[in-house]
Amino acid sequence: MSNQNNPFGGVSGQYSTNVQYGGAPATGAAPAADLIKDTSTAGFAADVIQESRKQPVLVDFWAPWCGPCKQLTPVIERVVQAAGGRVKLVKMNIDDHPAIAGQLGIQSIPAVIAFKNGQPVDGFMGAVPETQIREFIDRVAGKGGGAQVEDAMAAAAEARAAGDLQAAAQMYDAVLAQAPDNVDAIAALAELLFEAGDKAGAEDVLAQVPEDKKDTAPIASVRARLALAEQAASLGDAAELERRIAENPKDHQARFDLAMIQNAKGQRTEAADNLLAIVKADRSWNDDGARAQLLQLFEAWGMTDEVTLATRRKLSSLLFS
C-alpha cells in the first residue's frame, strides 16, 4: 500500500499501519490487554516468572545504543499483537537493569528468551525476520486459531470506540498479518484510513480483498461510503442548499444534494429525513431516486445500524400506508 500521504505512516506487513496518529509514535504505545510492557529487575518476578505460569512470556533484552534492537522492536511487537494473547512481551533495558541478563548468560543483544511455567524454555538472538518470530511463538505457545483473531478484533473495536485510533489500526494490521483475508479487519482498517482523510490509502487496502470476498457486506459498506463521499464532494455549499429549500420546499434536487452533504458529515438522521421527505412528496422524482439513494445509504451504514433500522421503518410506512 502506498505510504506517501498515509496518516498512519510506516510499513507494517502487507498493510501500512505502523501508526503515527495524532503525533504519538507507534513504537512504545501501550497495546490492548497489556500484551507488551517494560520491566525492571524488581518487577521481573511478577512480570515474567509469575505471568509465565498463565501463558508464555517473551523477554526482549535490549539497550538504547543497540541498532538491531531498534529493528527488532516494531517487528516483535507486531507479531505478539497478532498472536492475540497467546504470549506476552516484556522488554528489559540491560543498561538500566543488567542483573537478569547476567544471570541468564546473555552475551549479545537483542536477545529474546521465552519463559513458561516460571522457567526459560527457548530463545533467539539478533534481529531475525518476522517469519522466524512467528515460528518461534508457534513453537513456544502453539498455533493460534479463530479465538485469538476474535479476541484481537474485539480489542481493536474497543480501542476504536474509545478514540484510540492508533492502537485500533495496529491491532487490525496485526490480525491481517495472521489472517490476510479477514474481510472484517480489512474493512475496519480501510474505514480508519478513510476517516483520517486518506481515501487513497483506504482504496489500497480494499484492493487487497480476495476476489471471492469483494461483494461481502463489510467490504461493500466501505466501498459505498467512499462512493458517497466522492459524490458529496461535488455538491457545493450546504447553506446555499438550505436557502433554496427554504424558498422552495419542492426543490427536491437541493434537498437531495443537502442529504448527501449531511451524510458525508456524519449527520445520518438529517440525511435520511431529507430523503424521506422527497419520497413522501414525490415518489416518482428522478425515477424514484430518493428511495434508491436511501438503499445505498443503508448499505454504507450497515444493515444493523440504528439509523438504518429506524429509517427502514419510516420508509416502509411511507411506501405501504
Q: What angle do CA 174, 177, 178 make, to 5 degrees?
A: 95
In whole angstroms, give the CA distance from residue 121 to residue 112: 11
**Contact present, 289 and 251 (Cβ < 8 Å):** no
In whole angstroms, give the CA distance from residue 68 to residue 37: 19
Instruction: Check if 66 is active-site.
Output: yes
Helix (H) or strand (E) holding 204: helix 199-206
Q: At which residue does the C-alpha cell 448499505 appear?
A: 299
In whole angstroms, give the CA distance from residue 316 to residue 136: 56
- Annotated catalytic residue: which of 58, 66, 276, 277? 66
User: What nine digits make up the cell of 130?
Assistant: 518476522
Helix, strand, coil % over all residues of the chain, rounded to 5: 55, 10, 35
| Sign of the CA dihedral running 184, 186, 188, 194 | negative
Q: At which residue does the C-alpha cell 419542492 appear?
A: 250
> What are the CA-CA distances from residue 284 to residues 125, 279, 289, 290, 291 (Å)?
71, 8, 8, 9, 10
What is the 8-class DSSP label of residue 71?
H
DSSP secondary structure string, 127-174? ---HHHHHHHHHHHH----HHHHHHHHHHHHHHHHTT-HHHHHHHHHH
Instruction: Check if 6 is active-site.
Output: no
Q: At which residue does the C-alpha cell 458525508 appear?
A: 264
- Annotated catalytic residue: which of 69, 80, 111, 114? 69
- Both ends of the chain: CA-CA distance in Å? 50
> What are the CA-CA distances from residue 38 to residues 42, 48, 94 (Å)?
12, 11, 11
* Residues assigned a catalytic role: 66, 69
